[in-house]
Structure 1
Amino acid sequence: MRDGTWVFKVIMPLTAAVLVFYAAQDLRPSYAALFRVGEPGVFTARDEDCGKTCSWRGDFISDDGSRVRRNVRLASGGSVDHVGDRVKARDTGSRVLVYPATWSWDWLLVTLLFVGGLVALGYWSAWAFRRLRQRTAVRRS
Structure 2
Amino acid sequence: MLGALKYDASPACDQTRINQWYMANPDAAARDFDQTIFASSACQVGLEDRLYRAQDGRLVNTRTGGEPVFFHFPAENRIASARILDMLPQPHRRLPPRPGEGYRFFRNVIETRLPYLLDRPAYPLEDIVAAVALRAMPVLVGISIGIALLAG
Q: How does the TM-score come out when normalised to structure 2? A: 0.29
> Highest relative contact order (Cα 8 Å, sep 6+), 1 or 2?
1
Higher strand share: 1
Q: How does the TM-score come out when normalised to structure 1? A: 0.31
Question: Which entry has the higher C-alpha Rg, 1 or 2?
Answer: 1
